[in-house]
Structure 1
Amino acid sequence: EFVKGTIAENAPIVPISANSGVNIDMLIKTIEDHIISSVKRDMDAPALMHVARSFDINSPGTSPKDLKGGVLGGSLIQGTLKVGDEIEIVPGIRTEVGGKTVWQRLTTKVTSLFAGSKSVKSIGPGGLISIGTSLDPSITKSDGLTGRMVGIPGQVPEVAHDFTMKTVLLDRVVGSSSDLEVDEIKSNEMLMLSIGTATTVGVVKNGKAGKIQVALKIPVCIVKGQRVAISRRISNKWRLIGYGIVE
């Protein structure tokens, strides 16, 4: 009765005890049977990956001749990658040209691939991976490229500085200590948007019930139909109020 009328109404229920380790194997099997097996991955599409982390794996004091390139962490959402592939990182890095901010795409080669701690020659969608590159590690250190998208040069989705999305608002604000209802989104309102692994602030240029157009402070790669988490600043904290679907 607790889940009746929700999206979980027909979902399997597995009693477990995490402390005692009871039925954990059955829970894993149920996830594999009902969730993982239902996910369709397009292995033939051009490779795309959201960058969740980026690293400099060199220890302080490493000799210049022994330096290794920057590492990108994330998960492929489609396609395959193999060692030796050329990849493009979009929107890249922010630079100043003639007093104006310009985003410069990066291209590099895959020098190594890891699935967990296992070195592999090629890899497909699903699971966390790390990509060794020939990038300057100063670019990738401290999650410097988190939120970017990796793909085959010329086949990465376009960079968006603004976009339109349909909106679905929650009844109540998530995480608020008080029981606040979610008001409609208004023009000129500032929102925090989570798109893939990227987080950026968007200003509503045109807001109406069920659809808004936003101008982004930091551009991102987006795909039509992609879902976007929407948060509003309430009592000096960003609170989830709904989601959008990119048009």
Structure 2
Amino acid sequence: MTDAIDVKKLTPLSMEAMANQATINIGTIGHVAHGKSTLVKALSGVTTTRFRDELERNITIKLGYANAKIYKCDNEECPRPGCFASYESSKEVAFACTRPGCSGTMRLVRHVSFVDCPGHDLLMATMLSGAAIMDAALLLVAANESCPQPQTSEHLAAVETMKLENIIILQNKVDLISEERALDNHSQIQAFIKGTIAEKSPIIPISAQLKFNVEAVAEYIYRSIPVPVRDFSAASRLIVIRSFDVNKPGYEVDQLKGGVPGGSILQGVIRVGEDVEIRPGYIELDADGKYIARPYRTRVVELMAERNQLQFAVPGGLIGMGTLLDPTLCRGDRLVGSVLGAVGTLPKVLIDIKINYFLLRRLLGVASEGKKQAKISKLAKNEELQLTIGSSAVGARVAGVKDKEAKLVLSRPTCAEPGESIALSRRFERNWRLIGWAKIVSARSIRLDSD
């Protein structure tokens, strides 16, 4: 019974949680076609490109996700990195070591969830949404191309603005080049990360396609990514990064299932049978022309972590949540950007915010072909920006600027609270490009129907 579990004693390494659910989120970032999805498949056995457009173009378009268990042999004489291994999320917590001649037992030491971000420049907003739930990142750099490529720079800047400090750099595709070229590319990577948040990050040569050195990747995830601090006793809160209608054409009425929001729990524990709230919910105008938010309320009827069915879910990992919601509310990622959690405990729904901001010096992620990267000008009154608040990409108009502070009017009400970090993007040649980051200082909220 989940009621018998003392949530105050749970940690991300508690076997009660880790056996069935990932408790650490790791993003895979980098330029398009540098091997992010291939690496995730090598570690987890799961293909993250699942949609027709993704399969046809062989790129990630939506946020992909896959869970993997990382094991370490308990025999001290089992040599590294072969004493580490990774398997799919449904694997048992312990089994005999598969290394010839070793009598040890492979024991579960980490259960991680990979957030596979698209590398294409037009999908930067999607990548930023994924960055909101990352505890660490694997930055893939193709060894057969010069470093940095445009989105290599932009993705590193993005995780830097989101204050993500735990980064492992993977020099992929070393099987395609000579040792001399690999060493030259390694030097390029070192020069690229100098002075950045990744300056002291390990650089691991791998071939994701051939699964070469993936045991070393598993070892570094275990050794160099610290276990994140989680608050299991706080009121539950989940950030929605996907939402689905799982019903198929032709279903009978008694076969229909409610909508499925998916995302990562930031704090607290969510149980099957619990009543939850989703904000902002349905937005409408009242008789005076002012916004009013009607949060959705529903009950959790099922919790899933990939194929593992859960009775309770803890912070970390990506969770799919069966509910009693009208499935049309979840269709086509309609709930992305929402916040879900214990009734009456979620942040307010904001329409105006005041921010303290920081801008990058130059525009990143644009192929220049000999041209210098464009300088980023100061924010201007009445200009249009795109903000990434949690997993929500929302437009905003600059209503006023003073020194490093600005007042922004959001294009639609968004659930957030003062103190949150957000990413700022500006339109450049018809595309939104990352220009900096900010922190919400204060805000004006709209009325809830329960007020």
107-116 or 175-184, larger mean C-alpha shift: 175-184
Shift of residue 184, structure 1, vs aligned partner: 0.7
Structure 2 partner of 1:197: 391
Q: Which residue identity lines up with residue 259 of structure 2 in the other structure?
A: G
Partners of 1:184 and 1:209 within 8 A in 2:
no
Q: Give TM-score, length-normalised by structure 1.
A: 0.93
Which structure has more strand as a fraction of its residues?
1
**Structure 1 position 173 matched with structure 2 position 363:** yes
Distance 1:65 1:21, change over 3 A: closer
Choose which of 234, 237, 240 in structure 1 pairs with 2:428.
234
**Structure 1 position 214 matched with structure 2 position 403:** no
For each residue in 1:35-63, what CA deviation from the matched residue of structure 2 results, as whole angstroms up to 9, or x when unmatched?
2x342111111111111111111111211
206-215 or 157-166, larger mean C-alpha shift: 206-215
218-227 or 153-162, larger mean C-alpha shift: 218-227
Which structure has more helix as a fraction of its residues?
2
Q: Which residue identity lines up with residue 154 of structure 1 in the other structure?
A: G
For each residue in 1:59-81, what CA deviation from the matched residue of structure 2 results, as whole angstroms up to 9, or x when unmatched?
11211122111110111111110
Structure 1 stretches of 4+ with a deviation exceeding 4 A read 96-101
The aligned runs of 1:66-215 (5 Å cut-off) are 66-95=255-284, 97-98=286-287, 100=289, 102-178=292-368, 179-215=373-409
Shift of residue 240, structure 1, vs aligned partner: 1.1
Q: Which residue identity lines up with residue 228 of structure 1 in the other structure?
A: I
Aligned length: 246
**Structure 1 position 15 matched with structure 2 position 225:** no
CA distance in 2, matches of 1:5, 1:55: 41
CA distance in 2, matches of 1:152, 1:32: 32
Partners of 1:166 and 1:210 within 8 A in 2:
yes
Q: Which residue identity lines up with residue 249 of structure 2 in the other structure?
A: P
CA distance in 2, matches of 1:8, 1:133: 40
Q: Give TM-score, length-normalised by structure 2.
A: 0.52
Q: Which residue identity lines up with residue 62 of structure 1 in the other structure?
A: Y
Unaligned 5+ segments in structure 1 are none
Distance 1:64 1:97, change over 3 A: farther
Shift of residue 96, structure 1, vs aligned partner: 5.2
Unaligned 5+ segments in structure 2 are 1-189, 442-451
CA distance in 2, matches of 1:16, 1:224: 42
CA distance in 2, matches of 1:91, 1:118: 29
CA distance in 2, matches of 1:164, 1:32: 40
Cα RMSD (Å): 1.8
Partners of 2:272 and 2:301 within 8 A in 1:
yes
| Larger gyration radius, structure 1 or structure 2 | 2
Distance 1:238 1:7, change over 3 A: same
Shift of residue 209, structure 1, vs aligned partner: 3.4
CA distance in 2, matches of 1:10, 1:240: 24
